[in-house]
Amino acid sequence: MHAADGWISDARLPDHGVRRILGVDARRQRWLDVEAALAMAQAEVGLVPQESADVIAAHARLEKLDVSALDAGQARTGHLMMPLVTELARACGEEHGGWVHWGATTQNIQQTGDVLGVREAHAVLVDLVLDVLDACAALAEDHATVVMPGRTHGQQAVPITFGFKVAAWADAMLRHLERLEGLRERMFVAMTGGATGTFAAMGQAGPHVQELVAARLGLGSMALPSRSIADPFGELVTVIALMSATGSTIAYEVSRLSAAEVGEVRENLPPDDVGSTTMPQKRNAKLCQDMVTIGAHLRSLTGLALEAVIHAGEVDGAASAMMDEAVEQSLILAADQLVRLAAVLSELEVFPDRMRRNLDLTGGAIMAEALMMALAETLGRQDAHELVHEAAMRSVDHQEDFATVVAQDPRVTERLSRTEIITLLDPAKHVGLSAELARATAQRARGAVAARRPMGH
């Protein structure tokens, strides 16, 4: 199923609303909002009669226009904006309709209106990131001391806590939040510079008109309203793609840790969930699989967006169309992924007993670093590394517990007592600052949420 059209229904997932925000009707209304703001701004500087501006603003409501005429006009002309301008002018009447779209070009209205939609969708993404951070903070705090195997290159490395693992996810999401918010000044600007961005049709009043339009719409004013400037939109798509990579990382990790051979966490599935028509035992991490698919689709849009930054002349219609597609799809897909990520993390099942069992799979070899560092104090680091490596390989080759192998090595026993060896091979003794880092990151995440959400949200 095409991601932009929706995924399999899941009653646990709230409607994030981005598809509605970017829908045809909502988009047309935002264009009308810009036309109204333009007329009122031009009336303020004397370019348009105030009475005409008032009439234009009063009629710039989609419900006051003939939508079937808009659809028919678009089909006939192959143009998005011309039917809207024509229908708004008709609705305003002959006396006032001639002032509609005065001195503006299609992209002025379309891009400024679409920026309003991007702003609304951007707010949804920020809110969903806060949901993810909330869920991460709770997991990191609740499992700050739950010891599990740390893994590097697919193999057990040294112990960590599950709270520390989640803290790494939260830390990345905090940076994505900063990146998203950093886009605002560059993205949320009005552009009314006319055919090539020089204000030729409005003259000296043009920049002031743009400032007034921007103020009415709650936007900034584009410093140089050239229609070929597209890098802020490319930046938006790239930032969203980067965020999606973290979402996919988390989804992959939850899926991997929920495999039967690992069993340390599990996506919470409804009681009646079915994983397979032929294998009744299957519990597939469905939302995680969704997130991986969504993320791959989303990141593929980065190339399209970067190509769309390249314009020939003062504007290139093909590039603009590519960017529209990349931005719309990115916003929808990002919301799709984030709403799933928040659901998975907020309901994630964690199994500390299974983590403990997995820590014991190597018979203590996961604590090889701790033993090596203790022996290094008398042997030196390199000799200690060689000794412990030899013991680890022997335990694998002969299928013996690592603890048994080292306890029989006189080079170890003459330096460490049995009690010291047992203590050194306790995974809970070698998690470093896992718990402290998990709690500190959770606190940062909670602080970020609290700073952006009113009390009681």
| Structural domain contains residue 400 | yes
Reduced to 3 DSSP states, what percent helix, strand and coil does the chain have, rounded to the nearest 5?
A: 65, 5, 30
Q: Is the pLDDT of residue 264 over 60?
A: yes
Of 79, 276, 300, 389, catalytic: 276
Residues 266 and 371 in one domain: no
What is the mean predicted confidence (pLDDT) over 115-143? 98
Residue 344's CB: how many other CB atoms inside 10 A? 26
pLDDT at 419: 87
Percentage of residues in the chain having pLDDT higher than 70: 93
Q: Which conformational region is residue 426 in: left (phi greater than 0), alpha (psi within -120 to 50 degrees), or beta?
A: beta
Q: Which two tokens stand for residue 446?
A: 């909670």
CATH (domain of 384): 1.10.40.30
pLDDT at 405: 86
pLDDT at 13: 86
Q: Which two tokens stand for residue 311?
A: 């314009």
Q: Which two tokens stand for residue 229?
A: 């400037």
* Range of lowest pLDDT (25-29, 355-359, 398-402): 398-402
Q: Is the pLDDT of residue 359 over 70?
A: yes
Residues 99 and 159 in one domain: yes
C-alpha span between 422 and 98 (Å, rounded): 89
Residues 334 and 368 in one domain: no
| Structural domain contains residue 146 | yes
pLDDT at 10: 59
Q: Is the pLDDT of residue 274 over 70?
A: no
The confidence band for 56, taking pLDDT boundaries of 50, 70 and 90, is: very high
| Structural domain contains residue 193 | yes
Count of domains forming the chain? 2
| Structural domain contains residue 154 | yes
pLDDT at 369: 87
C-alpha span between 275 and 281 (Å, rounded): 8
| Structural domain contains residue 443 | no
The confidence band for 273, taking pLDDT boundaries of 50, 70 and 90, is: low
Q: Is the pLDDT of residue 404 over 90?
A: no
Q: Is the pLDDT of residue 52 over 90?
A: yes
Tell me whether residue 276 is one of the annotated catalytic residues: yes
What is the mean predicted confidence (pLDDT) over 378-382? 88
Residues 80 and 149 in one domain: yes
Mean pLDDT computed over every residue of the chain? 91
Q: Which one is predicted more confidently, 425 or 344?
A: 344
**DSSP 8-state symbol, 263:** -
pLDDT at 127: 97
| Structural domain contains residue 437 | no
* Domain C-terminal end among 302, 323, 353: 353
Q: Pick the closest to residue 288 from 363, 341, 333, 224 (CA basis).
A: 341
pLDDT digits (tens, 9 = 90+) for 33-51: 999 999 999 999 999 999 9
C-alpha span between 305 and 294 (Å, rounded): 17
Residue bearing tokens 């009744």 = 280
C-alpha span between 178 and 282 (Å, rounded): 39
| Structural domain contains residue 447 | no
The confidence band for 5, taking pLDDT boundaries of 50, 70 and 90, is: very low
Residues 142 and 287 in one domain: yes
Residues 213 and 230 in one domain: yes
Give ∠ CA 35-41-47 in degrees, rounded to 5.
100
pLDDT at 114: 97
Q: Cα dist. 248→130, 177, 243, 254 in Å?
A: 17, 16, 9, 10
Q: Which one is predicted more confidently, 89 or 409?
A: 89
Residues 102 and 170 in one domain: yes
Could you report how far apart the first and last alpha carbons of the chain are, in Å? 34
pLDDT at 371: 86
C-alpha span between 367 and 224 (Å, rounded): 61
CATH (domain of 327): 1.20.200.10
pLDDT digits (tens, 9 = 90+) for 388-398: 898 889 888 88
Residues 281 and 386 in one domain: no
Buried b (16+ CB within 10 A) or exposed e, 135-153: bbbbbbbebbbbbbbbbee
* Domain C-terminal end among 310, 326, 353: 353
Structural contact between residues 214 and 221, judged by C-beta atoms closer than 8 angstroms: yes
Q: Is the pLDDT of residue 2 over 60?
A: no
Structural contact between residues 195 and 201, judged by C-beta atoms closer than 8 angstroms: yes
pLDDT at 424: 84
Of 2, 9, 68, 153, catalytic: 153
Determine how β-strand 155-161 pairs with β-strand 147-152.
antiparallel
Q: Is the pLDDT of residue 344 over 50?
A: yes
* Domain C-terminal end among 353, 385, 402: 353
pLDDT at 276: 41
Percentage of residues in the chain having pLDDT higher than 90: 74
Residues 241 and 175 in one domain: yes
Q: Pick the closest to residue 164 from 196, 190, 141 (CA basis).
A: 141
Residues 106 and 137 in one domain: yes
Residue 100's CB: how many other CB atoms inside 10 A? 27
What is the mean predicted confidence (pLDDT) over 369-377? 88
C-alpha span between 149 and 31 (Å, rounded): 55
DSSP conformation letters of 26-38: HHHHHHHHHHHHH
pLDDT at 406: 85
C-alpha span between 249 and 255 (Å, rounded): 10
pLDDT digits (tens, 9 = 90+) for 193-240: 999 999 999 999 999 999 999 999 999 999 999 999 999 999 999 999
Burial of 121 (0-12, 13-18, 19+ CB in 10 A): buried
The confidence band for 457, taking pLDDT boundaries of 50, 70 and 90, is: low
| Structural domain contains residue 452 | no
C-alpha span between 370 and 367 (Å, rounded): 5
Determine how β-strand 220-221 pairs with β-strand 189-190.
parallel
Residues 48 and 187 in one domain: yes
What is the mean predicted confidence (pLDDT) over 260-269? 89
Residues 396 and 255 in one domain: no
Q: Pick the closest to residue 74 from 136, 22, 27, 39 (CA basis).
A: 27
The confidence band for 283, taking pLDDT boundaries of 50, 70 and 90, is: low
Q: Give the residue numbers spanning the domain of 257.
A: 18-353
C-alpha span between 411 and 302 (Å, rounded): 57
Element (H, E) at 321: helix 317-346
pLDDT digits (tens, 9 = 90+) for 292-330: 999 999 999 999 999 999 999 999 989 999 999 999 999
C-alpha span between 253 and 246 (Å, rounded): 11
pLDDT at 384: 87
